[in-house]
């Protein structure tokens, strides 16, 4: 069964520090990976997509993909209280639909 796994947390990070979120996936053939942010009671919001090995930066967010080790991570620099949310990792296993992890709850401590 194709799966995406995340540590459910909660993960607490001081304001201004770097938050590191990790995700592993089961299918070595996966090509597309996504990070979504979900605030309580709201729907997910796409933050980053990554398709190639290495790093991809967008503002305070950096996604890292290592296909050999089958993991994808999200770094949030200069963490702000507004970053407190659940972060969902998702992968496309080639069946044209996304498989989501269970999400990591992140709390930024002022």
Partner 1 sequence: GAVVSQHPSRVICKSGTSVKIECRSLDFQATTMFWYRQFPKQSLMLMATSNEGSKATYEQGVEKDKFLINHASLTLSTLTVTSAHPEDSSFYICSASRGQGGTEAFFGQGTRLTVV
Is residue 29 a contact point for partner 1 (CB under 8 A)? no
88 binds partner 1 per the rule CB under 8 A: yes
What is the 8-class DSSP label of residue 28? Answer: T
Question: CB–CB of 22/71 below 8 Å?
Answer: yes
- Cβ proximity to partner 1: between 18 and 96 the closer is 96
- The rounded distance, in Å, linking the Cα atoms of 74 and 58 is 11
Q: Among 7, 22, 26, 49, indicate the residue that binds partner 1 (CB under 8 A).
A: 49
Does residue 74 sit in helix, strand or coil? strand
Task: Find the binder of partner 1 among 47, 83, 101, 108 (CB under 8 A).
Answer: 101
For the CB of residue 78, give the shortest distance to partner 1 in the complex, in Å. 26
Residue 92 in contact with partner 1, rule: CB under 8 A? yes
Query: Is-contact 25 91, C-beta < 8 A?
Result: yes
């Amino acid at each position: 069964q194709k799966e995406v796994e995340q540590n459910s947390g909660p993960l607490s990070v001081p304001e201004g520090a770097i938050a590191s979120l990790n995700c592993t996936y089961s299918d070595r053939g996966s090509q597309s990976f996504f990070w979504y942010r979900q605030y309580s009671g709201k729907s997910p919001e796409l933050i980053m997509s990554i398709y190639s090995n290495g790093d991809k930066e967008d503002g305070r967010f950096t996604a890292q993909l290592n296909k050999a080790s089958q993991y994808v991570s999200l770094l949030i620099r200069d963490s702000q209280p507004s970053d407190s949310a659940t972060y969902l990792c998702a992968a496309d296993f080639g069946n044209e639909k996304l498989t989501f992890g269970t999400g990591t709850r992140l709390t930024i401590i002022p």
